[in-house]
Amino acid sequence: MNILIIDDLKELVYNLADIFNDEGYIPYKAFNAETAIKISKTNKIDLALVDIKLPDKNGHKLIDNIKKISPETEFVITTGYASMDDAINSVREKMVISYEVKPLNIERLISFVEQVWMRKQAEKELVSNQQELDVIIHNAPDIIFRMDFNLKFIYVNTILLEELNLKEKEIIGKSLDELIMHFNYMNTWKEKMISVFEEEIEKTIEFEIRTGNNIKIFEARITPEVDNTGTISSLFIYARDITDRISTQNKLTELTSKLETRVAERTKQLESANEELEAFTYSASHDLRAPLRSVIGYSNVLKEDFSGDLREEGIKYLEKIIKATNRMSMLIDDLLDLSKITKSEIEYEKINISELFKNIIENYKSENINRKVETQVEENLFIQADKGLINILLDNLINNAWKYTEKEEITIIEFGYRKELNTRDIYYIKDNGAGFDMKYEKQLYNPFTRFHRAKDFPGSGIGLATALRIIKKHGGDIWAKSEIGKGAVFYFTLDKMGKNYAQ
Amino acid sequence: MLSNTKSIVLIEDNKDDIELTIRAFRKSGINNEIHVFQDAEEAWAYFLKDNKKMKFQLKNDPAMVLLDLKLKGMDGFSLLESIKKDSKYWYVPVIILTSSNNCKDLHKAYKLGANSFLTKPVDYRRFIDLAMRAGLYWLFENETLNMLGQ
């Protein structure tokens, strides 16, 4: 701290200079006003001790002079009793910070100077903090500014200046209206700010800054600032450039809507494909059946009423026609059933699958009383499934077993259940029939695939395809194990998680 | 040979089906009068006794109207609806006899008041069997209202 001592008593000046020097301050000495002015012109004086009675000038005048040269300088008046009233007035008028009565109390003076020094240090720190804060605010990546009650800019950071392409003096003190060319949707922006003043709560808004053809979108937080009287006198605005975010969002929205459109298109295509399939099913059921019925009908009429007119060979051919058309009729019926299963919705209920199995087997037995049949059924197995579909499933699997055991002396059909390690419930239907080569297992479930000549084992080959569809509709799996001549086992599950076993 | 005064009305546009259906009844020994119409409008005119269009004289009460759904022009559903909404004929049993057992058709037919729904079996023997059983039931077992004579 630089201290200037001004007094015509040279001895006092020297003494004080020594003392201040010892205390760690830098003393400057002046014995008259003229020297004091010179020194204060060339040195930054923090504190001046001014004798009120100088030979060339009144102390008050000198203080005025120095203040003009260096407004930062603070003053302490040293005075005798005679001019004490003047000194007191000067303190009151805040021209000087204190006065000391001569003869000086050195200890008191030193303590006072120390206080001044400490205050100066604190002020310096404050200024440096302020500067640091300024650096931070000006280098912030986001816009920061403050506005007063009249919506005039009172503080702006560098980013805002850069975005607006303006200099600080071109914006400070200007109102929003004066800068209208730089902002889009100005009225919304103003309304929002006014509402922050009125409602005294923080608000957010998006605003747009335009520079030439370029538009940037900012997301701003407007915070009310309370002054020391407790009223809101200004706003603090913090705004972030969200142009990229918005454009990404827009792209995303666009992509999503494109995707949705595509999904909708595909769904429409699928729906129309389904409708076509349904139309085909209908026409297959009606249009294909009608002529077939005529062929079958008239073949039978021929056989019944005109057998006598035909030779034996003719009757044989007629039989072949009837047999082939019957087979075709069966194919059409099975195909229709298959397409119905594909379309139908599952209705879950608790079913005793063991009972269902026994009922179907009993039907087969009663229709073929000559066959020797042994059945083994695991009793009371309960599942959650669609009763109608499960009935068709079992019927197809039993039909399959029934057909391929036809040539066995005793037919053995078994229905059972086992739990796998991963808790999946597996049901199976096992027969002792003709079996098949495992290399064809995958083809089993294609419609019309047959591994035995139709003459040996009748059927459309659609049964297992139907079974597979029913299983898939329930979310399950079907697979088989077999060997030629050693029977076959068909395994199936009804739910991937195996949660169908409900007792 | 079975016979009574009740008649059968057959509405069917397929000539083969007409012939085979009549044959099926006759083969089953049902010899009741059968009125055949190849389109629904003609059949409806018969019901309305529209003399200009009428080809047949209504001699006996129809105890069963066998109606195909897929017909040229006015379809089976429209005729069914007309009969069931008519103040004079609503009670006449209408038996749908069609090739398809489409769920929607079934639903629609019953909703419009069909009394029965039969699918034409492709198999000849089953067809004859069906004609016989349906004929015996509707002509000889079922009690019909007779309001036409009054």
Residue at A449: amino acid letter: T
At a CB cut-off of 8 Å and minimum separation 6, what does A331 contact? A460, A462
Q: Give the 3-state secondary structure of residue A255.
A: helix
Summarize pLDDT for B54-65 with one digit per residue, the tens.
444 455 568 899
Q: Do A294 and B127 touch (CB under 8 A)?
A: no
Distance CA(A324)–CA(B102), nearest Å, equals 25
Sign of dihedral through CA atoms A466, A468, A474, A478?
Answer: positive
Summarize pLDDT for B24-59 with one digit per residue, the tens.
999 888 998 898 999 898 888 887 775 454 444 455
Mean pLDDT score of chain A = 86
What are the two backbone dihedrals, phi and then psi, of residue A500, each rounded to the nearest 5 degrees?
Answer: -90, -5
For chain A, list residues whose CB is within 8 angstroms of any CB belonging to chain B.
282, 285-286, 289-290, 292-294, 296-301, 326, 329, 332-333, 340
> Who has greater pLDDT, B74 or A180?
B74
Distance CA(B105)–CA(B113), nearest Å, equals 12
Nearest chain B Cα to A329, which residue?
B122
Summarize pLDDT for A70-124 with one digit per residue, the tens.
888 989 888 876 677 777 777 777 778 888 888 888 888 888 889 989 998 898 8
pLDDT at A469 (0 to 100): 85
Q: Do A297 and B20 touch (CB under 8 A)?
A: yes
Chain A residues with beta carbon closer than 8 angstroms to that of B103: 340
* Range name among A168-172, A205-209, A324-328 with the lowest pLDDT average: A324-328
pLDDT at A368 (0 to 100): 84
For chain B, list residues whose CB is within 8 angstroms of any CB belonging to chain A.
14, 16-17, 20, 23, 70, 98-103, 120, 122-125, 127
Q: What is the CA radius of gyration of chain B?
A: 14
Chain A residues with beta carbon closer than 8 angstroms to that of B16: 290, 293-294, 297-298
Residue at A120: amino acid letter: K
pLDDT band for position B78 (50/70/90)? very high
> Who has greater pLDDT, A105 or B11?
B11
pLDDT at A503 (0 to 100): 38
Chain A residues with beta carbon closer than 8 angstroms to that of B123: 296, 326, 329
Percent of chain A with pLDDT over 90: 33
**Between B14, B16, B102, which is nearest A285 by CB?**
B102
- Is the pLDDT at B113 greater than 90, yes or no? yes
pLDDT band for position A286 (50/70/90)? low
pLDDT band for position A451 (50/70/90)? low
What string of H, E and C letters represents the secondary structure of A340-401?
Answer: HHHHCCCCCEEEEHHHHHHHHHHHHHHHCCCCEEEEEECCCCEEEECHHHHHHHHHHHHHHH
Nearest chain B Cα to A297, which residue?
B124
Distance CA(A238)–CA(A140), nearest Å, equals 10
Q: Do B17 and A301 touch (CB under 8 A)?
A: no
pTM recorded for the entire structure:
0.48
What string of H, E and C letters represents the secondary structure of A438-477?
Answer: HHHHHHHHCCCCCCCCCCCCCCCCCHHHHHHHHHHHCCCC
Q: What are residue A175's DSSP bridge partners?
A: A152
What are the two backbone dihedrals, phi and then psi, of residue A390, each rounded to the nearest 5 degrees?
Answer: -65, -35
Q: Do B17 and A293 touch (CB under 8 A)?
A: yes
pLDDT band for position A497 (50/70/90)? very low
Distance CA(B47)–CA(A307), nearest Å, equals 41
- Is the pLDDT at B6 greater than 80, yes or no? yes
Mean per-residue pLDDT for A327-338?
78
Nearest chain B Cα to A298, which residue?
B20
Mean per-residue pLDDT for A319-342?
80
* Range name among A101-105, A276-280, A365-369, B61-65 with the lowest pLDDT average: A276-280
Nearest chain B Cα to A293, which residue?
B122
Under 8 Å CB pairs connecting chains A and B tally to: 52
